Structure 1
Amino acid sequence: MDILKLVDVSKIYGDLKALDKINLRVEKGEWLSIMGPSGSGKTTMMNIIGAMDKPSIGEVILEGEDISKKSPKELTVIRRDKIGLIFQQFHLVNYLSALENVMMAQYYHSMPDAEEAMAALEAVGLKDRAKHLPNQLSGGEQQRVCIARALINHPSILLADEPTGNLDEKNEFIVMDIFEKLHNAGSTIIVVTHDPEVGEESERMITLEHGRITNEETKKRRRPVVSTEIKDNKLKEFI
């Protein structure tokens, strides 16, 4: 079953076509990587999939609903309720603890729940770091807070922008470990990346060039899961 469909989607800025007649289907539970060089249209596609922008032409069907003509206010609600965003730059609030950063996402969605937020942090191996401020956490720990924040409102799609771009090899492995477990538990994951190793972790990979899909591969590379601190049962609570 398709959870997301792009139909003849173009994004045009004057004479520039950032996206040019993109057609894409994403199934529920699929892990897709969107790859391509700088200027290929990856960010534009991410913004449209994530309800942060609208196409100039075409339809974006999310869970059976065309969101391409929605108002900015309506897109905010869709983004809040259906898209779990994970950014390369983390975007954590510096004066809030890890727990409070996760609870802030709950606040904009419904009601803050410290117990549920703590369970989300435990799921990504950060229960003992819940009271720490962002500047007291490593880059990998901050990214895991972002994942917990993205999961807390049970989104339909997890959308990650270069999720390992600021991480060392060890923390990159931990973050990809979490994605692997989430995917195995049924999450729909879309990762925008320029890193071939990150792209290869997905079960399907598309390549963009000059706003068009030029290549598509279905290739799932399995690897051993070694990050024992991540709780499978807790992750499943947020799918």
Structure 2
Amino acid sequence: MTVIPESPAGGLAAKQQGIPPHAQKATFAAGCFWGVEHMYRRRFGNGKGLLDASVGYCGGNSKLPTYRQPFFFFFGLSSGDHIDHCHCAVGVRDRIADLCSLACLAIETDAEAVQVIYDPTIVSYQQLVEFFYSMHDPTTKNRQGADTGTQYRSAVFAHNEEQLRIARSVTDQVSRRWWKAPVTTELNPPDQWQWWTAEAYHQLYLEKNPTGYVCPAQ
């Protein structure tokens, strides 16, 4: 796996001062990354094992995936508007709702993902994977709620072979015990995927905008 420490917005590398050397990373895709980040922070933050988290793009072939795409002229937007997370431009959602999905084309091969830094002496990787399966529907391929597209697919991105082994074991268990429909979650081996940190306005989005878009994961 190649980790890109900083995108144009900065990222985990800019925030890792003070992270203990035994900390580990885990990366998941479960639909809208706003809600996934929010739920991991809420469940494992405040001393329960999560040390940091960032949202980003993962598992595709883009050179530099981003939601800020050059559709301004087409949509008749001003330079101050932005196409925000495929949920349409701020302030003009109703006007371009039918065209909004075009903004996702450039990143369609990448999944919206969350990368967490955690303390394995407090919370285990298995617990993080089990929570991943409990907070979204892994049986709806390329969809979570109304959010549809490959960028909303369910996926686990392993950082090492031990994580991959655990992810496979948990996936097998939840497939048999939790869900009647087939689980569609992708299990990606280490060294076969790339991480890109998302733009700054996506980080901690629901903390900064508590009355904003409510993700299906919520």
Quick check: TM above 0.5? no
Instruction: Work out which structure has the larger RCO, using CA pairs closer than 8 Å and 6 or more positions apart in sequence.
Output: 2
Identify, as 1 or 2, the structure richer in strand. 1
Q: How high is the TM-score relative to the length of structure 2?
A: 0.29
